[in-house]
Structure 1
């Protein structure tokens, strides 16, 4: 089946776009993997999930752009798109993701600091009543134990 040059250019551009998408997916995966520092088995599973996602993206773009017919220039387009991402966009995306992680981490610690003040005040308010209740309960159980010890010889002698 012969395709016009325009159709081939569209297929090539779709493949370059697919390569950029693969690079972006890889960038997100690498970011998550670097943040959480998984062990060997989890990294292996993550790699398999990445390659499964890459396969789905690749096959869907090949199917939509050229009705499932794989052409050599499509493979070159995927490679070109991935290289474009890694050389030009990868650093920018990584910087943005690291900035986002830094912002979320700072926001989390700020919220924790803001919550510590009221929790400390509440703890100080509730400390005295809770301590009093704890003391009374302990004394009550101690008295119950002493009373039970009085009747222990009577129970042993009933045999």
Structure 2
């Protein structure tokens, strides 16, 4: 039974890796994680079988179960896993499309208030520019003239 469970986990991992098209680094990390999960699975089975008393027949039974699983059921389960991944991908796509509809509705509903706010802020900007720009220009010109009277070219002599 331990070999069959390890084989099912291996096929799940292998089909997920193929479906997602992992690169080298993620494949290496996934292999490491799979090895740790397999170690935990085998540890649990060995603990149940003989209270961690290592017997060679447990190891041979696990290898035989894995071999039989890979020969008899592996191809069917890999196809099933790939179909399951496609189904989940499609359901996720449907969920994403379903969430886009309300978001687009909010965008459409918020367009007029945003346009009014944009127009109003631009109007306030132009009014403040007209009200404040002329006094600021005049103040700058007065400061420039005052500076020139302090350090006029005639007094440098």
Distance 1:84 1:150 in 2: 90
Structure 1 residues not aligned, in runs of 5+: 1-16
- Shift of residue 18 of structure 1? 0.3
User: Does 2:28 align with 1:54?
Assistant: no
Q: 1:139 to 1:39 in 2, by over 3 A?
A: farther
When the two chains are superposed, the root-mean-square deviation of aligned CA atoms in Å is 2.6
Moved more, 137-146 or 20-29: 137-146
Query: What is the aligned length?
Result: 143
Name the structure 2 match of 1:81: 65
Closer, same or farther in 2 for the Cα pair 1:50/1:114, shift >3 Å? Answer: closer
Distance 2:74 2:121 in 1: 63
- Structure 1 54/125 Cα, relative in aligned 2: closer, same or farther at 3 Å? closer
Q: How far apart are residue 46 of structure 1 and its match?
A: 1.6
Partner Cα distance (1:120, 1:59) in 2:
52
**TM-score of the two chains, using structure 1 as the length reference:** 0.72
* Aligned mate of 1:92, from 51, 54, 76: 76
Where 1:69 maps in the other structure, the secondary structure is: coil
Q: Structure 1 35/155 Cα, relative in aligned 2: closer, same or farther at 3 Å?
A: farther
TM-score by length of 2: 0.73
Query: Which residue of structure 2 lines up, in the alignment, with residue 69 of structure 1?
Result: 53
Unaligned ranges ≥5, structure 2: 148-157
